[in-house]
Amino acid sequence: MAPGFGPRERGALLAGRAAGQVVRRLGRGGGTALPGLIAGRLAPTLIESAAAQLGHGVVTVTGTNGKTTTAHLLAAIARGAGLRPLANRSGSNLERGIVSSLVDAVDPGGSVHDAARRLGVFEIDEAHWPLLAPRLRPRVALFLNLFRDQLDRYGEVDSIAAAWRAAVSRPGAVPTLVLNVDDPSVAQLGEDTRGEVIGFGIEDPAAALPAPEHATDARFCRCGATYEYDAIYMGHVGLWRCRGCERRRPAPIVSAERVHLGAEETQFDLVIGERRVPVAIPLAGLYSVYNALAAAAGAHALGLPIEATARALADSGPAFGRQERFHVEGRTVRLLLAKNPTGLNEVLRALEAAWPPLTLLAMLNDGIQDGRDVSWIYDADVERLAGLVGKLVVSGRRAEDLALRFALAGIEPAAVDTDTRVALQTALLATPPGGRLEVVATYTAMLEVRELLASMSGAGHYWEHDE
Partner 1 sequence: MNDLARTIRVVTLYPDVMSIYADRGNLIALRARCRQYGIGCEVTAVGIGDGLPADADLVLIGGGQDQEQRRIAADLAARGVRLRDWAEDDVAMLTICGGFQLFGHFYRTAEGEELPGVGIFDVTTVAPAPGAPRCIGDVLADAGDLGEVVGFENHGGRTYLGPHARPFARMRHGFGNNGDDGTEGAVYREAIGTYLHGSLLPKNPAVTDRLILAALRHRYGPGVKLETLPPDPYAERAHRAAAAVARRRGRPNP
Contact indicator for 440, 360 with CB cutoff of 8 Å: yes
Residue 205 binds Zn ion, judged by CB under 5 A: no
Residue 218 binds Zn ion, judged by CB under 5 A: no
Positions of E strands within 157-196: 176-180
Question: What x/- string results for residues 129 through 148 when contact with partner 1 is judged by CB under 8 A?
Answer: -------------------x
Among the listed residues 22, 116, 162, 245, the single contact to Zn ion using CB under 5 A:
245
Whole-number minimum distance, CB 379 to partner 1, in Å?
Answer: 5
Q: Which does 466 bind (CB under 5 to 8 A by kind): partner 1, Zn ion, none?
A: none
Residue 421 binds partner 1, judged by CB under 8 A: no
Among the listed residues 186, 189, 403, 440, the single contact to partner 1 using CB under 8 A:
403
Is 220 strand, coil or helix?
Answer: strand
Residue 191 binds Zn ion, judged by CB under 5 A: no
Among the listed residues 257, 264, 401, 466, the single contact to partner 1 using CB under 8 A:
401
Whole-number minimum distance, CB 417 to partner 1, in Å?
Answer: 12
Contact indicator for 100, 35 with CB cutoff of 8 Å: yes
Question: What x/- string results for residues 48 through 77 when contact with partner 1 is judged by CB under 8 A?
Answer: ------------------------------
* Nearer CB in complex with partner 1: 333/399: 399
- Inter-axis angle of helices 157-168 and 129-136, nearest 10: 20
Residue 416 binds partner 1, judged by CB under 8 A: yes
Which neighbouring-strand residues pair with 325?
A: 334
Whole-number minimum distance, CB 465 to Zn ion, in Å?
Answer: 44
Positions of E strands within 65-194: 84-87, 118-123, 140-143, 176-180
Q: Give kind and range of the element (H or E) at residue 36.
A: helix 34-42
Among the listed residues 71, 78, 221, 392, the single contact to Zn ion using CB under 5 A:
221
Residue 118 binds Zn ion, judged by CB under 5 A: no
CA distances from 64 to 69, 226, 248, 340, 380 (A): 12, 22, 22, 9, 16
Residue 419 binds partner 1, judged by CB under 8 A: no
Q: Which does 416 bind (CB under 5 to 8 A by kind): partner 1, Zn ion, none?
A: partner 1
Residue 408 binds Zn ion, judged by CB under 5 A: no
Residue 220 binds partner 1, judged by CB under 8 A: yes
Residue 55 binds Zn ion, judged by CB under 5 A: no
Residue 228 binds partner 1, judged by CB under 8 A: no
Whole-number minimum distance, CB 161 to Zn ion, in Å?
Answer: 14
Given 3-state DSSP classes, what are the helix, strand and coil percentages for the chain, each rounded to the nearest 5?
40, 20, 40
Residue 297 binds partner 1, judged by CB under 8 A: no
Size of residue set near partner 1 by CB under 8 A: 32
Closest CA to 420 of 446, 396, 392: 396
Q: Give kind and range of the element (H or E) at residue 234.
A: strand 227-234
List, in order, residues 6 or more apart from 107 with CB less than 8 Å away. 113
Is 371 strand, coil or helix?
Answer: coil
* Nearer CB in complex with partner 1: 50/380: 380
* Nearer CB in complex with partner 1: 32/442: 442
Closest CA to 193 of 127, 121, 133: 133
- Sheet harboring 254-261: ordered strands across? 84-87, 118-123, 58-62, 140-143, 176-180, 197-202, 254-261, 266-272, 275-281
Q: Give kind and range of the element (H or E) at residue 146.
A: none
> In sequence order, which ranges of 277-419 are alpha helices (DSSP H)?
286-301, 306-315, 341-352, 399-408
Distance CA 123, CA 68 (A): 7
* Nearer CB in complex with partner 1: 39/409: 409
Sign of the Cα torsion 294, 321, 419, 430 reads positive
Q: Give kind and range of the element (H or E) at residue 370.
A: none
Residue 374 binds partner 1, judged by CB under 8 A: yes
* Nearer CB in complex with partner 1: 118/405: 405
Q: Which does 219 bind (CB under 5 to 8 A by kind): Zn ion, partner 1, none?
A: partner 1
Residue 181 binds Zn ion, judged by CB under 5 A: no
Site for partner 1 in 326-365 (CB under 8 A): 341
Contact residues for partner 1, defined by CB under 8 A: 148, 151-152, 155-158, 214, 216, 219-220, 341, 366, 372-379, 398-401, 403-405, 407-409, 416
Residues binding Zn ion (CB under 5 A): 221, 223, 225, 242, 244-245, 247
